[in-house]
Amino acid sequence: MARDGGRDKTFTRRALFLAGGQVALFGALAARLYYLQVLESDQYVILADDNRISLRLLAPPRGRIVDRFGVDLANSQQNYRVVLIPEQTRSVETTLARLAEMIDIPEHDRRRILREVRRMRGYAPVTISENLSWEQFARINIQSLDLPGIQPDVGETRAYPKASAFAHVIGYVAPVAEEDKSLNNDDALLQLPGFRIGKSGVEKVYDQKLRGKAGSSRVEVNAYGRVIRELTRRDGQPGEMVQLTLDAGLQEYAVERMGEESGGLAVMDIHDGDLLALVSNPGFDPTAFNVGLTRAEWTALVQHPRNPLVNKAIAGQYPPGSTFKLVVALAALESGLVAPEHRVFCPGFMDLGDHRFHCWKKEGHGHIEFTRGIEQSCDVFFYDLGRKLGPDRIAAMARKFGFGGKLQVDQTGEKDGLIPTRDWKLAVTGVPWQHGESLNTAIGQGYVLTTPLQLCVMAARIANGGQFVAPRLFRDRAPVSGSAPESLGVSAAAIKFVQNAMFGVCNRPHGTGFKARIKEPALLMAGKTGTSQVRRITKAERLAGKKIKDENKPWHERDHAVFVGYAPVNAPRFAAATVIEHGGAGSQAAAPLIRDVLRLAQLRNPPGGMPGESFASLPAAKREG
């Protein structure tokens, strides 16, 4: 009995230990449950909601770009598109085949669609085609019952109402590339499928301003990520409007007037620097970069002989030809090496050592004084000045008038041009400066390179009496020159002398630009013609006495036509310059173009009148100049 009593006691102790362990275990479990379900309940509700509720970014509308009068140059328009929900159709290929009977679906798009269908979840929409016409969009809507999985949709896309006339200056938007994401990894907008950013021109320079702020949408999703319903929505903040100094009507006219010619043109206000036109021709369709270029379209653009992708107004670098003689004349007068009465005899050439430098006028100009040297663009007269000045004096004056460096206008791809000096040549080539190179520099040839915008700035600074003015493209930006005029440090007498000679170029019968003059007394223009050689005339051609005419040369061997001018001469307001690639003589191709553009600039902006008269409303006589 005693042995049985011992076993009972042992069993009772073990039962108590087991029961105590169970109580401790269930107590700990109860405590944990209380902690999770009561004390931490709010946290787990949030986590559960995070799994159930998805926060999604909404792309904001991109800001408008307008001209000085509020005319749209870039805006956002409705984008009629069609998307495919793969899980809603039994056969993607069959659906695409039916849709292809209504809209064109190229083979490369078919491959892309099928690739995205395999890669993405079945409920995720896949874009089939964008920028459909209203007729196409309506037809798809009507036939939607026979197109399982197809959903017509309306979004937004970037539009350029003025198309190629502003392609270079406005630029374009395109899908975000990987390098864009890495450079701006703090901007979640760049992760949005289909989001576009500025890639060139104003679209790129002011991308952040135009981009706006993202909106958000809170949607409820199921375990597979499929949207069940939208809970809240906060639309994005649209991008800001960017107003430019450009005059859309004037720019369109300049492009139309240039026609098939290739080149650059600039028009600016000589007092505040407002750019009224900044043209590069030929242009291109910026919408194509937004929608997406085909390989064939891209190849056609990059292989085009007239380089439509280059902004020739700021990135085209050309010898300025005789327009550069204005800078040389100012350098000569300011140096004191010659007087305004300086005279030179021009027999049609100048010999330097064993080399002969020819004047454009084969028989020569005879005895010619300073003013007529400019008006008739005598090369021998300026050979004489170049030999006396040397390159460094010319370069110092050229920099005062905007040459040899970027003008910091709000554009991408601007080039410096080139103003040579003795030190520059020695550093670059290792060869000292030669005397003959001073002669070539004095007539705007040799190493000298300028852009059309730099030529326009030179004309503006001469026209305003030698005051500093810099071009500006953004309407809200204060003029670089500030409120008080800043002198370039060139004497008023020298500026007045050159202004008088520029008047003679266009308004005296012996001037090289006389045939291209503006005839209305209130609109008179002053200017300077230029023709820059791209091909040296051979000795054999000179001995034969027959220079090959430009029209008989291949296009790429013809001279560039150059002209700079300002108007009206009695109270200057606008300066303009153009370079027409391989256009021939500046007096024949470039001067008439600038005449018509400056004339229209004055008509559209009469003193004390209503500015911005639309080009379409102008009488034919005004449009044709």
pLDDT, tens only, 507-540: 999 999 999 999 999 999 999 999 988 766 655 5
Residue 84 has pLDDT above 90, yes or no: no
pLDDT in tens, 71-80: 999 998 877 8
Dist CA 471 CA 410 (whole Å): 9
Residue 49 has pLDDT above 60, yes or no: no
Q: Could you tell me which residues are beta bridge partners of residue 561?
A: 531, 580
**Segment (H or E) for 231:** strand 227-234
Write down the pLDDT at residue 108.
78
Mean pLDDT in residue range 205-211: 92
Mean pLDDT in residue range 230-247: 86
For the chain, how far is it from start to end, CA to CA, in angstroms? 136
Q: Model confidence at 3, in pLDDT bands (50, 70, 90)?
A: low
**What is the phi/psi pair of residue 172, to 5°?**
-160, 165
Q: Using DSSP, how many helices (H) and how many strands (E) does the chain show?
A: 23, 19
All structural domains of the chain, each given as residue ranges with its CATH number in brackets, are 56-243 (3.90.1310.10), 254-534+561-624 (3.40.710.10)
Tell me the one-letter amino acid at 1: M
Write down the pLDDT at residue 498.
98
Q: Cβ(433)–Cβ(454) under 8 Å?
A: no
Dist CA 114 CA 86 (whole Å): 10
pLDDT in tens, 350-402: 999 899 999 999 999 999 999 999 999 999 999 999 999 999 999 999 999 99
Q: Rounded to two decimals, what is the model's pTM?
A: 0.82
Does the active-site annotation cover 322? yes
Write down the pLDDT at residue 380.
97
pLDDT in tens, 240-299: 999 999 999 999 999 999 999 999 999 999 999 999 999 999 999 898 887 777 788 888
Dist CA 302 CA 96 (whole Å): 33
Structure tokens at 406: 């970027």
Closest CA to 282 of 257, 302, 255, 300: 255
Active-site entry in 322, 377, 532, 587: 322
CA angle at 206 for the pair 62 and 457, rounded to the nearest 5°: 135
CA angle at 363 for the pair 360 and 366, rounded to the nearest 5°: 95
Mean pLDDT in residue range 147-164: 83
Structure tokens at 411: 């554009």
In 199-283 the beta strands, taken as DSSP E runs, fall at 215-221, 227-234, 242-243, 263-269, 275-281
Gyration radius of the chain's alpha carbons = 36
Q: Longest C-alpha distance within the chain, in Å?
A: 154
